[in-house]
Amino acid sequence: MDKNRKGFTLVEILGVMVLLGLIALIIIPLVDKHIVEAREKAYQTQINNIILGAKSWAVDNPLSEFLPTDEGDIEEITLGDLMEEGYVEYDIVNPKTKKKFSRESTIEIQKVKNGYQYRFSG
């Protein structure tokens, strides 16, 4: 063999490829897990913003016929209504599906002892 030869042998190249493959096997699931968690967190943030908009609407309309009056009663307002009245942004995107939330999605407002409980169903 010529000792002045430069370059990598086939075994060295295969060794590097195996190491890179092992690193990818470890890193890809971790990255995927973080992406899923980030989408879930963004989704919860969107839901919280929608509920905050519904709470703002309820504060501005305390005597509204739409708010439940007896404990346990439930009334609904649509996301479209909140959009039209300016309490939430138009075109809110669901981070999980990358599609806009339906304007027909509802926010349930339930009368509880000392106030109201809000639930988004979209």
In tens, the pLDDT along 25-53 reads 999 999 999 999 999 999 999 999 999 99
- Put simply, whether the predicted model's pTM sits higher than 0.85 gets the answer no
Candidates 113, 116, 50; CA nearest to 87 is: 50
Share the mean pLDDT of the chain.
88
Residue 3: pLDDT band (50, 70, 90) is: low
Q: Helices (H), strands (E): how many in the chain?
A: 2, 5
Instruction: Round to whole Å and give the CA distance between 109 and 58.
Output: 9
Residue 2: pLDDT band (50, 70, 90) is: low
Q: What is the pLDDT of residue 39?
A: 94
Q: Identify the bridge partners of residue 115 per DSSP, sorted by sequence position.
A: 112
Candidates 102, 107, 7, 110; CA nearest to 53 is: 107
Residue 118: pLDDT band (50, 70, 90) is: very high
Q: What is the pLDDT of residue 69?
A: 79
Instruction: Round to whole Å and give the CA distance between 60 and 62.
Output: 6
Residue 12: pLDDT band (50, 70, 90) is: very high
Q: Tell me the percentage of the chain whose pLDDT exceeds 70.
A: 93
Average pLDDT over residues 74-83: 90
Q: Give the residue carrying structure tokens 């504060």.
A: 59
Q: Give the residue carrying structure tokens 């002045």.
A: 4
